[in-house]
Structures are given as structure tokens and as C-alpha cells.
Structure 1
Amino acid sequence: MNKIYPDAHAALAGIVHDGITIASGGFGLCGIPEALIEALGETGKRGFTIISNNCGVDDFGLGPLLFSRQIKKMISSYVGGNKEFERQYLAGELELEFTPQGTL
């Protein structure tokens, strides 16, 4: 099995479907898989459950996936400064499961 891919789109080919659960690495905006997150958004798939310590900021990290309404549920330890995250959660548009950072 070849685990080296020419780009993020190729790495995601055939494995991204509506409703999947994805664990995303990084801490805050450091060490996040930027290219994979962008390619994930471009798939147009929806209903993701994302496990990550936070959801980035409004226009970076996982934040753009919120704006495109591709995330259904977040499992995270920190909401942070993402206003769209807060808005969707308070409006009942986004499920949230708070989990201690050490558990993640």
C-alpha cells in the first residue's frame, strides 16, 4: 500500500463521504493539516463529526467548514474565538460535545 500521495486531494480520494467522523490534529492553529482541511471542504461532502481541540477561527483552520455548513457536530475542548462556531451552537445548528483536552 502506497502511503505517499501527490497532493491532499489524492490522499482523500475515495475515503470522504457524507456523515463521516474525522479526527483532526494540531493545537489551535498550530500544526493543523491545512491542505487536507482545504481539500476536505472542496469535496462538498457534509454532515461531518469533527474531533479536534477547537474549530480554528472564522476564516482559517476548520472554520471555513463551519461557514460551508459541512460540520454537523464538534467534539472539542475549546470553542475559542470562532464567532461562527458560537453562533451556530447557540442557534442549535451545530452539535457540540465538550471533552477535556487530556481526553482528546
Structure 2
Amino acid sequence: ALASLNPTHIFLSHLHLDVGAENCIMAMYAGNFELCSQVNEKVINEFIVLWIGDRRKSQCLNFLKALTMNFSRPITRNQTLVMNAIVEHLAEPTLQGFFHISG
């Protein structure tokens, strides 16, 4: 049963807590093109939600950047997933301010 657990899911379930789960996830993906190119859409959504929140904005942006461009190699699938997640949350005041959208 333990082998069937997805380790990324375990860390994602702790992102809302301030226990460093996002740092662990970022370390797993950093510099790993293969893993980045297979990232789950849920991971991207969780980091978009964290970015929208008041905490760890720069860490979230750095992680999203790493997922979309790894060693100067674009990962177009992830670029599309990130943009879709951003579009889904455009009503959020944080994103409106970031993109200079007036309501």
C-alpha cells in the first residue's frame, strides 16, 4: 500500500502548512527535465493557489518558472498548463494586480 502512494501527493497535502513542503517539492523538480515534463496538473494548480495567497510568492513563481523552462529548454505542455491555471484564477485580486488588470 505504501508503494502505491504518490510522494508528490503527500507533499501537496501539506502545502497549506508552513512546514517546508514546497521547498521539498521544488528540490525534487529542480533541474530534472524529465520530472518537470511529467508534472501533474494538480501540482501546478496548488502552486498557483499558493502564489495567489499571501505567502511565499517568490518561491511559487520560481517553481512555476522552473516547470515551464528547464535549463533553457521550454516545456510547452507546462507553459500551457500554467497559463490555463492563471486564466482560471484571473478574478483573484492578486493576479489582477500582478497583470495590471483593472476591474
| TM-score (normalised: structure 2) | 0.37
Structure with bigger gyration radius? 2
- Structure ranking higher in helix proportion: 2
| TM-score (normalised: structure 1) | 0.37
- Structure ranking higher in strand proportion: 1
